[in-house]
Structure formats: structure tokens, C-alpha cells
Structure 1
Amino acid sequence: MTMTANHGPSVISAARFVVTFDTAAPAYFSELTGITSEVEPTEYIAADAKTGAIMHTKQFGKTKPPTVILRRGVDGSGTIWAWHQMVRAGAPAARMSGSLQLQDAQGQTKAVYWMTDAWPSKLEVGNLRAGMSEVVLETVTFTCASIDLKHGGDVPW
């Protein structure tokens, strides 16, 4: 992380997002909708052995698989579409590991997330109307076994 003169770590800004999985060519995205990693809280109720008082506590509950949602203009390659079709067919080879790089306008990597056993669980091709000259957008939701921040800013982790 870069430290600013008087305010602590600087904020990461990204102009593009690059995903690279196993042997596949890199895919470029213009928008990162979100990275989600969640553990549901669960309530634990117990009675104190000495006083009999009822205690309510929150404990770690069910973990949900992390997701990454990215958006880009459809490039016509069909690579992610074909990968999603492998997932729909239940092919074990559809699970791949790879990186998500957040890059600035000069192409410098500002942060890297590592996705283990990821697969495109949802693919949406966007909201179009006939006669318009808008870019066709594709939104891809990657679900993975785990996601880890490998490095961010100028600090090697």
C-alpha cells in the first residue's frame, strides 16, 4: 500500500480488470461489480451451568462460496460462453484457478486476487433494444472455492 503524507494508506483506483485462468488467454473487463465472501452468523443459545441464565451468542455459521462479478462488452470470442457450457454439462475440467488483476490506466497492477477452483456460474448478456447503437454487455459471475488477496498497492505480501 502506498502511504499518503498525512492520511495513511492510499485508495486503489482501477481502470480495467484482467482475469487469467490456467492456460486460457487473459479476459479484460471494464467493471468489477463486486467480490463477495460471506460467513453467515448463527445464533447459539445455552444455559449457564451454575446460574441457569440463558446466554445468546453469535457464532460462525455456514460459509458461502466467494463470488466475483465482472462486466464487459461482448468481444465475440465466445470463450467464457463455451466455459459456461462446460459448467452446465458438469465437466470437472470447468473448475479453474486464476488471478483477477486490478490495473490502472497505465496497465500497472495495483492489486491481485487469486481465485481457486473458479467457474462461471452465471452469464448474462445485457439489456438491448433493436435499432440502438449501444455496446452489448456481458455480466459474468464467477463462483470459487476460495479467494485470497495476493497483494495490493506497493506492498508485496
Structure 2
Amino acid sequence: MATRSNPYGAFNFQVEFDGTPAGGDPITAGFSDVSGLGNEINFSDYREGSDPDNVVRKIPNTNKTDEVTLKRGLIGSTEVFAWFKDVRDGAYAPRRVTITVLDEARNKVLALYLRNAQPKKWVGPTLAAKGSGEVAMEELHLVHEGIEYVGL
């Protein structure tokens, strides 16, 4: 990936879900918002009694990933909810989720991969008859086992 002086816009991206190990079909879905892309390393404190410096060393150990939230306008497609329902009903159906950032010309510039992502929570739209300009939105919360950041 070539570097540039201006950062990429946060409004051009694609989300794709690979198929499941049990043979579930891939899902391509448009989302208006992706949040929670994060990873944190845990450290252990360690100090030997013979260390000449009176300071605790920080030793990296495990890491934890943040829950990712995807939001989209309700469009009538049931593929995402069907995946959630399968997991809710006891299926083990992890997927690799690819979030691809696009430049202004819609060329792929980098990808974020969520390894073994599974749906944790689905939130349906808030429906209210008082507003005419609101869009019915749904949310999908994902847990995953690792995130990779790859330049294209």
C-alpha cells in the first residue's frame, strides 16, 4: 500500500462475511457504520530480586479484542439475522469478516480481517410513527478471535 499525505475518508468501505465451516454461503452486506475495531495487549509485572534497577518489567502475555458493531438500514435481507439465529440455536458458525477501506475512486487500499467472528447480539430497528425522516436501522455485534491489518 502506498502512503499518502491525506488520510482516507471513513465513508468508503465494504463488509464481507466468508462462508461458515459447515458450508454456509458467504454474505455481502452494505453497512453504514463499523465501530469497535480494537485490540489490547495485557502485560504482567515481573521483577527479579537481583535486578539492579528498582523497577518492575512489563512482560506481554495475552491480548483481547474489542466487540465490533455493524449498523445498517433495514433492507429486507435476512442473511445476517439467519446467521445470528443459527448461532443462537447452538450452531458453531464462525466466519472471517473482511472490512475493506476504499479510496475516493473506490479502489481497495487496505483490509481488516476479523478471525472467527461470531454474532453476539442483534438489535432491531426502533419504530416510531412520529418522525418521517428516520431510517429503520439494525445492529449486529460481533465477537472475534483476532484482527489483522493488511495493506493492499
**TM class, shorter-length:** 0.7 to 0.9
Q: Please, which of 16, 22, 47 is the counterpart of residue 20 of structure 1? A: 16
Per the TM alignment, residue 63 of structure 1 is displaced from its structure 2 partner at its CA by 1.7
For structure 1, the residue ranges without an aligned partner over 5 or more in a row are none
Does 1:84 pair with 2:80?
A: no
Cα displacement (A) at 1:54: 5.2
Using the alignment, how far apart are the partners of 2:51 and 2:64 within structure 1? Answer: 37
- Could you tell me whether the CA contact under 8 Å between 1:16 and 1:30 is conserved in 2? no
Hey, what does 2:21 align to over in structure 1? none
Supply the distance in 2 between the matched residues of 1:43 and 1:139 (Cα, whole angstroms). 39
C-alpha separation between the residues in 2 aligned to 1:31 and 1:79? 18
Superposed CA RMSD in Å reads: 2.6
Quick check: 1:123 aligned with 2:119?
Answer: no
How far apart, in 2, do the equivalents of 1:125 and 1:148 lie?
29
How do 1:1-150 residues align onto structure 2 when only pairs under 5 Å count?
A: 1-4=1-4, 9-22=5-18, 23-44=25-46, 46-49=47-50, 55-92=55-92, 94-104=93-103, 106-133=105-132, 134-150=134-150
Query: What is the CA-CA distance between 1:66 and the residue it aligns to?
Result: 4.7
**CA separation in 1, counterparts of 2:51 and 2:43?**
27
Q: Which runs of 5+ in 2 are unaligned?
A: 19-24
Task: Give per-residue Cα distances to partners, 1:89-136, cap 9 Å, x unaligned.
Answer: 2312x1012311123454322321122211122222344433323111
Kindly tell me: are residues 101 and 50 of structure 1, through their superposed partners in 2, closer, same or farther at Cα, counting changes over 3 Å?
closer
SS of residue in 2 equivalent to 1:49: coil
Q: Identity over the aligned pairs, expressed in percent?
A: 26
Post-superposition Cα deviations, 1:119-156, rounded to whole Å, max 9, x if no partner, equal 122222344433323111122222222221121xxxx4
Stretches of 4+ moved more than 4 A in 1?
A: 1-4
Deviation at 1:36, TM superposition (A): 1.2
Q: Secondary structure at the match of 1:118?
A: strand
TM-score calculated relative to the size of structure 1: 0.74
